[in-house]
Amino acid sequence: MGLQSIFIRDEVLGAVDQPERFALALPSAEVSVADIIRERVRYEVDTYNRDLAVKTFAGLVRPSERERRLNTAKTHRVIDADAQIEAALKGFASNAFIMLIDDVQVETLEQKVMVRPDMEVTFLKLTPLVGG
């Protein structure tokens, strides 16, 4: 089966302005929670790394302090997707954020999900995530 699309939405506890949702393509109709996190973070990092005009990375995981110092307003540095993915997976495991699939909380990274059209995955951020 070809690519399957879901919608990703972020929410931050206490934030007034919430970002709009975006579509994310997944490689198969059955994925794990970890697969969704990996694909989401890789998509954000790849999008940032390709667009040299963007100076600030805004994704699920904030770049580390070292990366933030390197990424001044004058430069665009490549962000390491693998380090960001690792930070996101650790963030899920340590409850830095929770994931809801169609408003139902998922419990483990290994949990399998059947992708459906118009499925919405919400990342509810409880604490800021900092990458490696």
Burial (CB < 10 A; 0-12, 13-18, 19+), residue 99, is buried
| Residue 120 within any structural domain of the chain | yes
pLDDT of residue 71: 56
Tell me, yes or no, whether 83 lies in a domain: yes
In a domain, 109, yes or no: yes
Domain presence at residue 130: no
What was the pLDDT predicted at 85?
A: 96
pLDDT digits (tens, 9 = 90+) for 115-132: 998 899 999 987 655 555
Is residue 58 within 8 A of residue 47, CB to CB? The reply is: no
Rounded Cα gap, residues 119 and 64, in angstroms: 31
Q: Would you say how long the chain is, in residues?
A: 132
Phi, psi of 36 (to 5 degrees): -65, -45
Q: Which domain holds residue 95?
A: 4-125
Low-confidence ranges of the chain (pLDDT < 70): 1-2, 15-16, 18-19, 63-76, 127-132
Q: What is the DSSP letter of 62?
A: B
Question: Is 99 a member of any domain?
Answer: yes
- pLDDT recorded at residue 125: 85
Q: State how many domains the chain has.
A: 1
Question: Is residue 23 included in any domain, yes or no?
Answer: yes
What pLDDT is recorded for position 21?
A: 87
Classify residue 16: in a domain, yes or no: yes
